[in-house]
């Protein structure tokens, strides 16, 4: 059986460990592994190459993805989806693994509904915002990058009478912001899922400033689009001189953490075992309740991801 793997959408640490395990395990099972370069764009353009062990040697510790990724407007047009399918058939590829996020799975859901495609998705996004799974590849590495930055920022914040506002990624999901706030001891966390209670929090912080608080750390999720507003509020309402740091794309990079390497191992083995025993799969591997499971892609794309209640409750416990 010929199998292929590709990355789609934003890159995430953990993709390279998954790619390596895919190639090594395919050969162990006597199958032919193919790498699709540049994601959906590469699938359309036929950038499909048979993989050898040497292609994935020494990549386990590397962030990003050696086969690159892309977002594709062309894939929204049927003629290019048909071209992509024909490219798979040229190589007799009967099974496809896609490392990606919600948008990638929506694209594959449409693709597999039109063509005879044996497909399994592996949730791979630092945002950790895919419905049906508690964990997505790359989120732990991103959180550790953010934690390292916040620890350093707190060092300088505590040296002055100053607040620091740090904007983190996460699109419309506050996972990175909330977990980072909990892990760093931030006093303020602003996420899309919860209305920012500026009046009550401002009253508390002003009192603390009067009683000697000389610095504070605020985490703001990019999806709120409130970075400028919170900056102004901290300075004018709370009374703390405030600096803004936007971490940006450093959150996507870095060597995969142990957890991301181990999760990549199990995600990939689960996906491949299913492909080797299926002829008409349209599923996504998920991790929940301490187990790896396969669920229909419709379940993944039909409902928006919701943060666990314990994380939302944690917003009110920061101090």
3-state secondary structure the chain: CEEEEEECCCCCCCHHHHHHHHHHHHHHCCCEEEEECCHHHHHHHCCEEECCHHHHCCCCCCCCCCCCCCCCCHHHCHHHHHHHHHHHHHCCEEEEEEEECHHHHHHHHHHHHHCCCCEEEEEECCCCCCCCCCCCECHHHHHHHHHHHHHHHHHHHCCCCEEEEEEECCCCCCHHHHHHHHHHCCCEEECCCCCCCHHHHHHHHHHHHHCCCCEEEEEEEHHHCCHHHHHHHHHHHHCCEEEEEECHHHHHCCCCCHHHHHHHHHHHHHHHHHHHCCCCCEEEEEEECCEEEEEEHHHHHCCCCCCCHHHHHHHHHCC
Contact 120, 4 (CB under 8 A): no
Angular region, 63: left φ>0, alpha ψ -120 to 50, beta rest: beta
Residues carrying an active site annotation: 127
């Amino acid at each position: 059986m010929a199998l292929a793997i590709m990355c789609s959408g934003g890159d995430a640490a953990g993709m390279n460990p998954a790619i390596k395990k895919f190639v090594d395990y395919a050969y162990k099972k006597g199958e032919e592994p193919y790498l699709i370069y540049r994601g959906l764009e590469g699938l359309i353009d036929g950038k499909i190459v048979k993989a050898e062990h040497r292609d994935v040697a020494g990549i386990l510790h590397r962030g990003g993805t050696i086969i690159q990724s892309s977002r594709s407007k062309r894939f929204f047009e049927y003629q290019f989806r048909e071209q992509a399918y024909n490219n798979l058939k040229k190589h007799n590829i009967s099974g496809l693994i896609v490392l990606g996020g919600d948008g990638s799975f929506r694209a594959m859901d449409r693709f597999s509904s039109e063509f005879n495609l044996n497909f399994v998705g592996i949730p791979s996004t630092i945002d950790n915002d895919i419905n049906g799974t508690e964990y997505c590849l790359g989120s732990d590495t991103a959180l550790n990058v953010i934690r390292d930055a916040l620890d350093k920022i707190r060092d300088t914040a505590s040296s002055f009478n100053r607040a620091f506002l740090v904007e983190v990624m996460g699109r419309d999901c506050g996972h990175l912001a909330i977990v980072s706030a909990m892990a760093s001891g931030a006093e303020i966390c602003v996420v899309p899922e919860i209305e920012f209670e500026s009046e009550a929090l401002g009253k508390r912080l002003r009192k603390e400033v009067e009683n000697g608080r000389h610095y504070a750390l605020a985490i703001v999720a990019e999806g709120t689009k409130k970075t400028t507003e919170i900056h102004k509020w901290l300075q004018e309402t709370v009374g703390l001189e405030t600096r803004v740091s936007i971490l940006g794309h450093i959150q996507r990079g870095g060597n995969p953490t142990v957890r991301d390497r181990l999760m990549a191992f199990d995600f990939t083995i689960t996906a491949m075992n299913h492909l080797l025993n299926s002829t008409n799969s349209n599923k996504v591997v998920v991790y929940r309740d301490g187990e790896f499971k396969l669920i229909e892609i419709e379940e993944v794309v039909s409902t928006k991801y919701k943060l666990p209640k314990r994380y939302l409750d944690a917003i009110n416990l920061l101090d």
